């Protein structure tokens, strides 16, 4: 029975490492998406500045719609990933509680 507890502790430590890895990947994705959002927003502003000068209004309208759609999708993706990070934090808390319980048993 005492052999099971150390292996259970190891499993819990491994789960925490996996959560750390997933969280770091999500933070990287969120950071890259926010950088891209800034670029899209800047491009959208630039498009507004050149309205009627370099491109036809139909092309401008299409480009603006594409940019706004992309900004919306990317913003939604960032929000989803932030929500995933929150879920990972909750899982981490539960795993740590379980880990502490197992340590107390030993």
pTM, entire model: 0.79
What integer pLDDT is reported at residue 100 of this predicted model?
A: 94
Give the per-residue pLDDT at 53.
64
Domain residues for the domain of 40 are 4-105
Q: What is the DSSP string of 56-94?
A: -HHHHHHHHHHHHHHHHHHHHHHHHHHHHHHHHHHHHHH
Tell me the CATH number at 69: 1.10.287
Please say whether the dihedral angle defined by the alpha carbons of residues 45, 47, 51 and 57, taken in this order, is positive or negative.
negative
Averaged pLDDT, 90-101: 96
Average pLDDT, integer, range 8-14: 93
Residues in the chain: 106
Cα separation, 69 vs 61, in Å, equals 12
pLDDT at 71: 95
The count of domains in the chain is: 1
| Average per-residue pLDDT for the chain | 89
- Confidence band of 1 (pLDDT split at 50, 70, 90): very low
What is the per-residue pLDDT for 5? Answer: 53
């Amino acid at each position: 029975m005492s052999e099971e507890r150390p292996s259970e502790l190891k499993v819990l430590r491994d789960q925490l490492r996996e959560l750390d890895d997933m969280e770091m990947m999500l933070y990287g994705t969120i950071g890259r998406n926010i950088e891209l959002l800034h670029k899209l927003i800047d491009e959208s502003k630039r498009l507004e500045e050149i309205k009627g000068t370099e491109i036809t209004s139909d092309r401008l309208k299409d480009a603006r719609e594409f940019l706004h759609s992309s900004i919306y999708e990317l913003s939604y993706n960032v929000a989803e990933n932030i929500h995933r990070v929150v879920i990972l934090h909750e899982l981490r808390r539960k795993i740590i509680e379980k880990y502490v319980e197992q340590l107390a048993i030993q």
